[in-house]
């Protein structure tokens, strides 16, 4: 059966057999870096294509249909265009911060990939506080956005960045509390342990009502955290031209754009890991033959299937709901999501202590 674990083990044993340990580690770093960067570019191409197709079909259109077979090379053409475009820096901008901001946003989304588990035994860094690491690092991206808005020296950019700050700071709370619910259930912050704990069923299914509620809250909160419609106030193209990246062009704009899509991928991967069992195949109690059939599907296929399903749900939101006003947005968080998730966490704790979950 196809398994990424064998490949990584093979590479690592070969490296340690032929090089001294320090160099083996360095070579591993390089391999991981190249893999992450290529995953980035592939994700960018695939997700943007997917978004445009989903959007078109939901709006009774066809989507891209000119470049390549049925328009599938459209994003490649767009990327080439962005690469050859000039990346302007406006005269009145704070040049250093202006040029730094896209890279901060980019690096943050790369770093969050570290604890993700892409398949069985295929993980960059199995840190014992994996989930905490993800929530902590993901909030750094707001600094990149604020930096971009402030350094652009443009009122629209600044307004967009301020909105984004308010939004991410508030929604981080309920996203964190939703994640905590699963941490309470599984009793661990380590991504691999959380996935192991779902071998006999996903938390969404065996966590009773609290897991379902926290899943819904998690999806809403991460949609807000990634600045996606209906919470795309930071961009709000009809009010703020393009929000914090109004002044960006060429590859610097592309970095923001790419980071947005990679962030979606990362948060959906986190959601899939916590609620849908990550790479864990779909198992039902003690139906052994059914479980064995499920095991034949490679774990990477399970992981990417679940992640792309969640990405589809988030795209579905975007092309269905109208944008919220800033006060409605904050009302939703502070008056609804936060109290509900606090109460929900309490409920989950009671269930976990009493051992009522399956």
Partner 1 sequence: MSFIRQYLSDVISGVKSLLTGMRLTGKYFIKHKETNITQQYPDNRQELFAGLPDRFRGEVVMSHDDNNEHACTGCTACELACPNGTIKIVTKFDMTPEGKKKKAIDKFVYHLELCTMCNLCIEACPTSAIKMAQNFEHSVFDRRDLTKVLNKPGSKVREGVE
Q: Which is nearer to partner 1, 53 or 163 (CB)?
A: 53
- Closest CB to partner 1 among residues 22, 59: 59
Is the separation of the CB atoms in 149 and 164 below 8 Å?
yes
Q: How far is the CB of 340 from partner 1 (least distance, A)?
A: 8
Tokens 């929604």 correspond to what residue? 171
Rounded (5°) CA angle 166-170-174: 160
Which part of the chain contacts partner 1 (CB under 8 A), choosing from 34-42, 55-63, 90-98, 188-196? 55-63
Does position 16 bind partner 1 by CB under 8 A?
no
Strands (E), the chain: 117-119, 122-123
Kindly indicate which of the ranges 18-26, 58-66, 191-199, 204-212 contains the residues binding partner 1, using the contact rule CB under 8 A.
58-66
Q: Is 265 in a helix, a strand, or coil? A: helix
CB closer to partner 1 out of 61 and 81? 61
* Contact flag: residue 321 with partner 1 (CB under 8 A): yes
Name the one range near partner 1 by CB under 8 A: 51-59, 120-128, 173-181, 266-274.
Answer: 51-59
> Toward partner 1, which CB reaches closer, 16 or 317?
317
- The residues in 259-318 that bind partner 1, with binding defined as CB under 8 A, are 316-317
Q: From the CB of 331, what's the least distance to partner 1, in Å? A: 11
10 Å Cβ neighbour count for 316? 12
DSSP 333: I
Vertex 113: Cα angle to 48 and 162 (nearest 5): 70
Per rule CB under 8 A, count of chain residues that contact partner 1: 14
Token code pair at residue 289: 């033959």
Determine phi and psi for 119, rounding to 5 degrees: -160, 180
Could you say which of 2, 14, 23, 57 contacts partner 1 (CB under 8 A)? 57
Q: Which of 7, 58, 136, 284 binds partner 1 (CB under 8 A)?
A: 58
SS3 119: strand
Examine residue 103 and tell whether it contacts partner 1 (CB under 8 A): no
Among the listed residues 35, 38, 61, 358, the single contact to partner 1 using CB under 8 A: 61
CB of 182 to partner 1, least distance (A): 21
Residue (103 or 336) nearer to partner 1, CB: 336
Greatest alpha-carbon pair distance for the chain in Å reads 67
The answer to whether 132 contacts partner 1 (rule: CB under 8 A) is no
Closest approach, Cβ 314 to partner 1, in A, equals 12
62 touching partner 1, by CB under 8 A:
yes
Q: How far is 274 from 202, CA to CA, in rounded Å? A: 8
* Contacts with 321 (C-beta within 8 Å, 6 or more apart), sequence order: 229, 230
Give the separation between CA 255 and CA 241, rounded to whole angstroms.
18
97 binds partner 1 (CB under 8 A): no
Residues of the shown chain interacting with partner 1 in the complex, contacts defined by CB under 8 A: 54, 57-62, 316-317, 319-321, 336, 340
């Amino acid at each position: 059966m196809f398994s990424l674990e064998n490949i990584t083990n093979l590479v690592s044993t070969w490296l340690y057999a032929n090089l001294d340990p320090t160099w083996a580690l360095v070579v591993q770093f390089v391999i991981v870096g190249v893999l992450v960067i290529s995953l980035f570019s592939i994700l960018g191409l695939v997700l943007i294509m997917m978004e445009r197709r989903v959007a078109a079909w939901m709006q009774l259109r066809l989507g891209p249909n000119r470049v390549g077979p049925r328009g599938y090379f459209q994003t490649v053409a767009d990327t080439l265009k962005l690469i050859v475009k000039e990346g302007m820096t406006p005269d009145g901008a704070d040049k250093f911060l202006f040029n730094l901001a896209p890279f901060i946003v980019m690096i943050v989304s790369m770093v969050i990939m570290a604890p993700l588990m892409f398949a069985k035994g295929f993980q960059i860094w199995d840190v014992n506080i994996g989930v905490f690491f993800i929530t902590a690092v993901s909030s750094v991206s707001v600094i990149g956005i604020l930096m971009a808005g402030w350094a652009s020296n443009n009122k629209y950019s600044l307004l967009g960045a301020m909105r984004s700050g308010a939004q991410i700071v508030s929604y981080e709370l309920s996203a964190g509390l939703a994640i905590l619910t699963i941490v309470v259930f599984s009793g661990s912050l380590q991504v691999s342990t959380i996935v192991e704990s779902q071998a006999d069923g996903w938390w969404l299914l065996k966590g009773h009502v609290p897991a379902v509620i926290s899943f819904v809250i998690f999806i809403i909160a991460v949609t807000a955290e990634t600045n996606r419609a209906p919470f795309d106030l930071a961009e709000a193209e009809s009010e703020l031209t393009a929000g914090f990246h109004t002044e960006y062009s060429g590859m610097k704009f592309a970095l923001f754009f790419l980071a947005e899509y990679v962030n979606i991928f990362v948060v959906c991967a986190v959601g899939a890991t916590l609620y849908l069992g990550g790479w864990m195949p779909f198992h039902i109690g003690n139906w052994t033959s059914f479980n064995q059939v499920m095991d034949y599907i490679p774990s990477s296929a399970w992981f990417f299937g679940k992640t792309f399903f969640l990405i589809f749900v988030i795209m579905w939101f975007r092309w269905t709901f109208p944008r919220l006003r800033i006060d409605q947005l904050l009302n939703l968080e502070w008056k609804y999501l936060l109290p509900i998730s606090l109460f929900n966490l309490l409920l989950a704790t009671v269930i976990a202590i009493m051992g009522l979950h399956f």
